[in-house]
Amino acid sequence: MNVRTGCKYGSHRVLKPKGVLPQPALQVDNNFSTVYDNEILVDVIALNIDSASFTQIEESVGHDVKKIEAKILEIVEQRGKMQNPVTGSGGMFIGKVAKIGEALKGRDLKVGDKIASLVSLSLTPLKIEKIIKIHPDIDRVEVKAQAILFESGIYAKLPTDMDEGLALAALDVAGAPAQTAKLVKPGDSVLILGAGGKSGMMCAYEAMKRVGPTGKVIGNVYLAEDKKTLNDQGLCHEVVVGDATKPVEFMNAVVKANGGKEFDIVINCVNVPNTELSSILPCKDDGIVYFFSMATNFAKAALGAEGVGKDVTMIVGNGYTKDHAEITLWELRENPKLRKLFEEKYV
C-alpha cells in the first residue's frame, strides 16, 4: 500500500463532517492499517480523562465503574477518539512510540520512547482494544490501545527522574500553571476557583511565587478537607470554602477575604458547570479572568459579563503555552512537598 502524506493538522482523518479539523469533528478515522508518513503511531498505556469529562461521565452513569468503562468504549467506537459529547473535552495519554512516519524521522524521537501527548484526546484518533483498569479517584484509565499524533501534535518524552504516573498527572494540566506564570505579576491579587484540584494547586503554587511579598493569593475550595490540604502545603495566603455555583454569595465571601477589594486575576480550575459569573463578579474592571476549566460555557461567560457590566479580559483555557511541560514538571522538582502530595494522591 502506498504511504501518503496527510494534512499536518490531521484533517485527512476526519470522516464527518468533511472539511473540519479533528477536534470539532464528529468522527475521525481510527483505522491504523495505514500510518501516513507524517504521523506517529503510539501504543497507548494509559489515558488521563479530562476532569470535567470524567466527572460528567461518572455522574451520568451513577458512579458505576463497569458503566464508565462501557461509556468510554461507546464514545471511542462512535467518534474514533475520546471526546465527551457533553463537555466536548478529552484528556491526554501516555504510551510508547510504535512507528514514526518517514517525513518525521528527523525528530528527536525513536521507536520505543515513552511519551505523553500534549494535545487533547478530543482530536486524537484512538482505538481501544481493551480497558484494563479504571481509577475513578484520579480520572485515569489503563488501556491496551493505539493512537495517532499528527505532524502538528505536541508531546513530551517522559522524564527519567519521576514516576510516569506522576508525570502524567502533572502534564495533564500543564497549560494552567504555565499560563499562570505568564499572567501573574508582583503585587497582584489572585483568586483561584477549584484550588484543591491538580490544576488549582499547581496554579496556586505558581501564583504564590509570582505575586511576591506585596501580592495575595486566595484559593477557593468546595470541601473543608481541601482547605486543610492547601493550608498544610502553604499554597495560598487564605482559603475560602464556598460554592462557586452561587455567584453573589461566593463573590461576597472571596472579596471579603481579599480585604474588601476585587481581584486583579481570577483563575477558574473547577470541574463542574455554572461557575462563570463567580469568576467574573470578583474580578476588577480591566482585570483578567482565565477559564482553564473545560466545564466553562463561554457564551454564559461573555453574556454574563455583559449583563453585570464587567469590563474584564477573558482568556480561554488553551491547554498549550510555550514551554508548558517544562514549567509544570519543574514545579514538582522544586517543591518536594507538592511532589509528595501528588505522588500520594494521583499516582
Instruction: Tell me which of 42-51, 57-66, 112-121, 318-327 is least confident.
Output: 318-327
What cell was used for 306? 455583559
Contacts of residues 225-229 at CB distance under 8 Å and 24 or more positions apart, as own/partner, are 226/195, 226/196, 227/196, 229/196, 229/341
* Spans of all domains in the chain: 11-158, 175-346
Q: What is the DSSP letter of 103?
A: G
User: What is the percent of the chain where pLDDT is above 90?
Assistant: 88
- Fold assignment, 175-346: Rossmann fold (3.40.50)
195-220 pLDDT tens trace: 999 999 999 999 999 999 999 999 99
Model pTM score: 0.85
pLDDT tens-digit series, residues 80-101: 999 999 999 999 999 999 999 9
Whether the pLDDT of residue 284 is over 90: the answer is yes
Backbone angles phi, psi at 195, to 5 degrees: -70, -10
Secondary structure element (H or E) that encloses residue 286, with its range: strand 283-291
- Grid coordinates standing for 127? 482505538
Q: Residue 1 above 50 pLDDT?
A: no
Question: Which is more confidently placed, 268 or 172?
Answer: 268
323: pLDDT strictly greater than 90:
no
Q: What is the pLDDT of residue 2?
A: 53
Length of the chain, please? 347
